[in-house]
């Protein structure tokens, strides 16, 4: 896919292949159905999805955490082995995913650990690497992990000293 299209995906998660036994289980379930048709049941309705999106918007991002996100993304742009680093859209995606992770953890604020947990999946596919890195098997995810290791993490006390955003309830 062209990089402009890849940049529109919020994150990339690699699940790999199933184990031998799990793949056989897939085959057995297909044989048991006797056809290709599946009966899908919704797990959530539209109003619940909208409420979940609204809850994520209430998650507070303290300035030190926001600048940490900006610095991590900027670090991908400053690497000489990266042709094109993550765009500002990548920074926005990192903020959204970090806020969602905080909400899932029951918090109304983002921590640096939320950013670290989401950065590889959110930013790795947004980088264009120089061809010599591809030959060596280096991936965008590896570059993001290196950037996370190099960019100083804000002090959690600074994050917690700021007033959190509105309650999730």
Q: pLDDT (tens digit, 9 = 90+) per residue, 117-146?
A: 999 999 999 898 888 887 888 888 999 999
Q: Which positions ≥6 away from 3 have C-beta within 8 Å?
A: 84, 126, 128
- 97-78-156 Cα angle (round to 5): 45
> Of 77, 78, 76, 123, which is closest to residue 98 (Cα–Cα)?
123
How large is the angle between the packed helices 140-150 and 63-77, nearest 10 degrees?
A: 130
Q: Which CATH code is given to the segment(s) 44-161?
A: 1.10.8.80
Record the pTM.
Answer: 0.77
In the predicted model, is pLDDT for residue 150 greater than 60? yes
């Amino acid at each position: 896919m062209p990089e402009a299209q890849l940049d529109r995906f919020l994150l990339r998660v690699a699940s790999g292949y199933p184990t031998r036994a799990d793949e056989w289980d897939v085959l057995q379930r297909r044989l048991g159905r006797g056809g290709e048709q599946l009966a899908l049941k919704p797990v959530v309705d539209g109003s619940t999805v909208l409420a979940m999106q609204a809850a994520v918007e209430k998650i507070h991002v303290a300035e030190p955490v926001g600048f940490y996100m900006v610095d991590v993304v900027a670090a991908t742009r400053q690497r000489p082995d990266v042709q094109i680093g993550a765009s500002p859209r990548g920074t926005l995606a990192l903020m959204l995913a970090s806020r969602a992770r905080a909400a899932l953890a029951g918090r109304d604020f983002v921590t640096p650990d939320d950013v670290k947990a989401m950065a590889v999946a959110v930013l790795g596919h947004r980088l264009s690497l120089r061809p010599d890195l591809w030959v060596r098997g280096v991936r965008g995810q590896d570059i993001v992990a290196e950037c996370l290791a190099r960019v100083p993490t804000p002090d959690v006390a600074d994050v917690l000293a700021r007033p959190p955003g509105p309650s999730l309830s």
